[in-house]
Each structure stands twice: as structure tokens, then as C-alpha cells.
Amino acid sequence: MSNLVFVYGTLRKNERNHHLLSGATRIAEQAWTNGTLFNTDSGFPILKNSIDIDVVYGELYEVNESQLARLDELEGYYGEGHQNFYDRVVKTIFTDKEIYHAFVYVMTEQQAPMLRRKVEYGDWRVQHFIKKNNYLYYAYGSCMDHKRFEIAGVDQHFQKVVGCGVLDGYTLGFTVQLSDGGRADILETGGVVEGKAYDITPDVIPYLFEREGVASRLYRPAIIDIKLNGAVKEALTFIVVQKEEELTPPDHYSEEILRGGEGTLSPEYLEKIKEKVEILKSKETIV
């Protein structure tokens, strides 16, 4: 018998307890549910169950009974009617493909004194990642265009282009609907996305977060794995929060993507972007 489990802390990919999910099937690495995530002083987060507007981001896995038992042991869950460290409940989990119902380990009353400040952006991995001295930033849209950085007066922060990052399992879309057209997004629906990988430092984060509208929840920060120069590397990127039906991007925005990707992204991939934009234009013309 198999079960679905949503994980949001130390069980996530590349975290210290992820080995307990060895052999499990990952359904989605971009998954989310309602609730509020809190930091603790013990090196792990706690999800407070709620149905409010707060969102917690994590990963969704299919596990068998023995794997679920290992997770129960880690989380101190002994079953209904017992004094559990975490409760295990069923919650609605959202992904780019489908909506699921899965087990989630949530706060019990004995954990209440452990709660500290809320986890920023609802993503436990992000808040730790961006505190490093330097890390990779993965741009797949107009942020590949150096001219935009020059206009904003921040081009000195984006001088270290490491190469073309390849993101497997995702598709480039234009799911942000602004008054003049769509803006780029990545969707975990299969495929491949190419982007520009930069080596950056934390002092550029305020610019990126403002540009991507993180405060207004236009985009959210996320940590992904990209193939880069023969190795797999973690990188910061930004993903659309409220995805709409795709809309043709304005010409100036398409030009920024193509200009920014030239010389780094493959010619074949850039051609696919052109083709996608033309297809979107033709669909809107027909309508």
C-alpha cells in the first residue's frame, strides 16, 4: 500500500533527513499547502495547521508502509490518541499538474513554546540558502538581459556568468498576465528549460526580490537543481505564485529574453522560445 506525504523541512531534497525517503517516488518538488511555517531553535521548522492565506512550500512523495513508518519515527508520531510530538493529518496539496491529498506532519500543543518567527516566504530552504556568502542565481526570462541590469545600475552584481543551466522536468510558460502581455514562468510539467546561471552575493537580493515582486507575491523565491558544466548545482530562482492562462509576451520582453540568452543558451532552445511566442500569438489572433 502506498501513501502520499508532503515534506517541508529536513526531509526535503538535499536536507539532512532526506535519506529516510530513499526509494520513495517524488511526485512534485514544487508543491504547496495552506498553513503557517515557523522556525525553531532546534534546526527544524514546524507547520501550524490552518486554512488561512499563508502558504507553505515543500515536496510531495509517494511512500510505502515501511517508509512511512520511518517518517513516523522521526516525527514522533505514534497514532491517534497518543501523545505525539507531531500530528499526522491529511491536507490538500497543490502542484503545477494536479491537486492531491497527502499526509502532513503538523504542530501539536506541546510544540507551541518552540515556535519562533515565521519562516520567510513560506519556504524553509530559501531562508537558509540566501544567507550564504555566495550562490548561484538561475535566470530564465528577462533577467538574462544585461542591458536591464545596466539601466537599473546593478550590472556590477551580475558580471559572473557561470554558464547555461539546464532545468529538467520543467516547461517555460508565460503565466503572468500584465496589461501589455505575459511574463515568464517555469512549470513543473515536464520538459527542459535553459537559463543563465550567475554567481551572486547576498547584497543583490533586495534588487532581485523587488524586481520579481516578491512582497506582492507576484513571484516567489525557490531553490532548484540545475545541470551546469557537467555537474548538478543548487540555484536560486523565482517562480510565479498565481499562475494564469498563458498570454503572449510583449515584443520588448521577448527581445530581452532572446538578447539575454544569446551566446549562453543553445541556439536550438532560443529558436523554441521564438516558436512558442509565435504559437501564442496565433492562438490569440484566432480567438
Q: What's the CATH number where 22 sits? A: 3.10.490.10
Give strand pairing partners of 199. Answer: 136
Q: Do residues 168 and 145 share a domain? A: yes
Q: Do residues 158 and 185 share a domain? A: yes
Of 77, 99, 124, which closes a domain?
A: 124
Cα–Cα distance, 131 to 203 (Å, whole number): 10
pLDDT of residue 283: 82
pLDDT of residue 286: 60
Number of separate domains in the chain? 2
Q: Do residues 88 and 217 share a domain? A: no
The cell numbers describing 48, all together, are 501550524
Cα–Cα distance, 82 to 100 (Å, whole number): 27
Of 124, 145, 166, which closes a domain?
A: 124
Q: Do residues 137 and 239 share a domain? A: yes
* DSSP conformation class of 188: S
Which residue range(s) make up the domain with 11? 2-124
28 φ, ψ (degrees, to nearest 5): -160, 140
Q: Do residues 178 and 56 share a domain? A: no
pLDDT of residue 148: 94
With contact defined as beta carbons under 8 Å apart, do 201 and 212 qualify?
Answer: no
Span 96-125, pLDDT tens digits: 999 999 999 998 888 888 888 999 999 999
Which amino acids are annotated catalytic?
75
Q: Do residues 211 and 231 share a domain? A: yes
Taking 50 as the pLDDT cut, the residues of the chain under it are: none
Burial of 268 (0-12, 13-18, 19+ CB in 10 A): exposed
With contact defined as beta carbons under 8 Å apart, do 280 and 287 qualify?
Answer: no
What b-and-e string marks burial along 151-186, b requiring 16 or more CB atoms within 10 Å of the CB? eeebeebbeeebebbbbebbbbbbbbeeeebbbbbb
